[in-house]
Structure 1
Amino acid sequence: MPAVPSSVIEPIWCQFEALIPAVADKHPLGCHRPRVPDRVVFDKLIQVLVFGVAYRKIEDASCSATTIRRRRDEWIAAGMFTRLEQICLDGYDKMIGLELENVVVDGCIVKAPCGGQAAGPSPVDRGKQGTKRSLMVDGQGIPIGCVTAGANRNDSPLLEATLDKLARFGFDLPEQITVHLDAGYDSHKTRDLLDTLGCDHQISTKGEPLQAGARWVVERTNSWHTRGFRKLQICTEVRTRVIDAFIAFANAIIITRRLIAQAWTRYRWNNRPHKQP
């Protein structure tokens, strides 16, 4: 069984392939070993992301663990995963439409047994190492921005950096944005920040029964992250830039899957799945 259905991964690969920069052959005699095809490494990275396996567990005659890590780092340095995520967002916005009038932000803590730059003592796991993801989604739960930090960081101080991710949409933002938050953000500091940014807000009140409101979509997206991508459920990467790259990669898959599901009832195209995803 493939890690991701071909109806989802093939359009992602087409966009990703177009972003891969040309590699110059610098060997003076031109007699080194042939370069491992990019598609092979791409498929290996999907397996790492979905199954959460170590690189050495999936190496074979076609591609070594060292090649996977080296090519991954090359693509991260070129900013390809972030650009892929942005292309998927632009495509979704063009065909379906992002609901940026309402955005929802919430934090999610996952295990980080290897520690690293984005790890800290987890308040929900007996002080073991963990990573927090401050995730922002639109009104339908499409991931539009994420900030990683140690698990011991509070949600509220990460809010400004998370909302700064809206800058990726440039001048296409709506005139008025309402930010939906849970009781962990219920403070004067948070309200002052949102007032400074010119955003309306709906914040759950501390000490009162759970007020779900419109925040359930971010909980669903957090579930897509942790249940659909083992690499995000247990963070074994040490460097923040690698963690962010895998999050962007997962977001690209989620956005594409939602785009196909929403477009299935609206459009017709070649290679359209026979049934709704």
Structure 2
Amino acid sequence: MFDKLLQLLRFGCSYEAIADTTCSATTIRNRRDEWIALGVFVQLKRVALESYDRVVGLVLDQIAIDGSITKAPGGGEVAGRSPVDRGKQGLKRSGMTDGYGIPLGRVLAGANRHDSPLLAPTLDLLDDLGPLPDVITVHLDAGYDSDKTRTELAARNLHGRIAHKGEKAPIQASQRWYVERTRAWQNAFHRLARCYERRKTVVNAFFDLADTIITVRSLIRRAWTTQRWDKRPNHRR
């Protein structure tokens, strides 16, 4: 059943297309909902983050946040008119990563929502990460260039590095490119790049599963040169 969910995440196909003689589409949906209710996907992501932090170490003194719009043809609880897709239904995610690009969480909203109002609930996700560094720098693009954003960061004792509106600022000029790379990793899972799920809990579950895979891949890649374990790959990739 778990393999079926991984295939759904990767290929983005329908439940009916992935069903076979071992399990029906209804069974897959029912088991998915059971695992969501039990918090299985949240726990998987937490275990992956804790393992990465213990072996490699999360770079929590540098945080990057950015919004991203993807297609949501099926509409749903977190879909809205997309300003970049002729008003079709779209999904916005305000994603947060550490200084290397490890996904820490996201806030889902309709594609018609601006990035700035989603900053506060995205920063609230830091509370789930346990002890944090005394000094944290948040890297943001020009969409967050406002006094409201700076006030929000100051209230949380966070330092902001924000691109200025109207000025050319290549993404390589700061550490925002890490969140852009992570967004590309997430969009490689076709169920996230073109979301047909209508319920917010289900969309978050698939994002948690994708973030778990991304974190484990990064853990193997970065630990390969310093750690030894059974069935260690012969190369980093």
TM range (shorter): over 0.9
Please give the per-residue CA displacement for 1:151-178, whole angstroms capped at 9, x wherever unaligned: 00000000011111111112x2111111
Structure 1: which amino acid aligns with 2:79?
A
Does residue 90 of structure 1 match 2:64?
Answer: no
What residue number does 2:190 align with?
230
**Alignment TM-score, normalising by the size of structure 1:** 0.84
Question: Following the alignment from structure 2 to structure 1, what is the Cα–Cα distance between the partners of residues 170 and 150?
Answer: 18
Alignment: residue pair count: 235
Please give the per-residue CA displacement for 1:196-232, whole angstroms capped at 9, x wherever unaligned: 0100010000011124211000000000011x20000
What residue number does 2:220 align with?
260
What residue number does 2:135 align with?
176
Question: Following the alignment from structure 1 to structure 2, what is the Cα–Cα distance between the partners of residues 194 and 118?
Answer: 26
Question: Following the alignment from structure 1 to structure 2, what is the Cα–Cα distance between the partners of residues 198 and 276?
Answer: 38
Q: Which of 96, 104, 108 is matched with 2:68 structurally?
A: 108
Structure 2: which amino acid aligns with 1:162?
T
**Alignment TM-score, normalising by the size of structure 2:** 0.98
What residue number does 1:167 align with?
127
Map 1:211-222 → 2, pairs under 5 A: 211-212=170-171, 213-222=174-183
Question: Following the alignment from structure 1 to structure 2, what is the Cα–Cα distance between the partners of residues 53 and 128?
Answer: 20
Q: Which of 131, 152, 175 is matched with 1:193 structurally?
A: 152
What residue number does 1:204 align with?
163
Q: Tell me the SS of whatever aligns to 2:57.
A: coil
Q: Tell me the SS of whatever aligns to 1:110.
A: strand
Question: Following the alignment from structure 1 to structure 2, what is the Cα–Cα distance between the partners of residues 211 and 44?
Answer: 40
Q: Which of 109, 113, 118 is matched with 1:158 structurally?
A: 118
Deviation, 1:126, is 0.6
Structure 1: which amino acid aligns with 2:20?
D
Question: Following the alignment from structure 1 to structure 2, what is the Cα–Cα distance between the partners of residues 168 and 86?
Answer: 10
Question: Following the alignment from structure 1 to structure 2, what is the Cα–Cα distance between the partners of residues 252 and 179?
Answer: 23
Please give the per-residue CA displacement for 1:127-156, whole angstroms capped at 9, x wherever unaligned: 100000100000000000101100000000
Map 1:48-63 → 2, pairs under 5 A: 48-63=8-23
Question: Following the alignment from structure 1 to structure 2, what is the Cα–Cα distance between the partners of residues 276 and 187?
Answer: 42
Deviation, 1:268, is 0.6
Does residue 142 of structure 1 match 2:98?
Answer: no
Map 1:17-56 → 2, pairs under 5 A: 41-56=1-16
Q: Which of 7, 10, 28 is matched with 1:68 structurally?
A: 28
Question: Following the alignment from structure 1 to structure 2, what is the Cα–Cα distance between the partners of residues 156 and 71?
Answer: 36
| Same amino acid, percent of matched pairs | 54
Q: For structure 1, which segment, 161-170 or 126-135, has the greater mean C-alpha deviation from structure 2 after superposition?
A: 161-170
Give every structure 1 segment of 4 or more consecutive aligned residues whose post-TM-superposition deviation is greater than 4 Å: none
Question: Following the alignment from structure 1 to structure 2, what is the Cα–Cα distance between the partners of residues 164 and 87?
Answer: 20
Whichever of the two has the greater Rg, that structure is 1
Q: Tell me the SS of whatever aligns to 2:90.
A: strand
Question: Following the alignment from structure 2 to structure 1, what is the Cα–Cα distance between the partners of residues 63 and 129?
Answer: 13
Question: Following the alignment from structure 1 to structure 2, what is the Cα–Cα distance between the partners of residues 107 and 169?
Answer: 21
Q: Tell me the SS of whatever aligns to 1:97.
A: coil
The answer to whether the 8 Å contact 1:204/1:211 transfers is: no
Q: Tell me the SS of whatever aligns to 2:17.
A: helix
* C-alpha RMSD of the superposition: 0.6
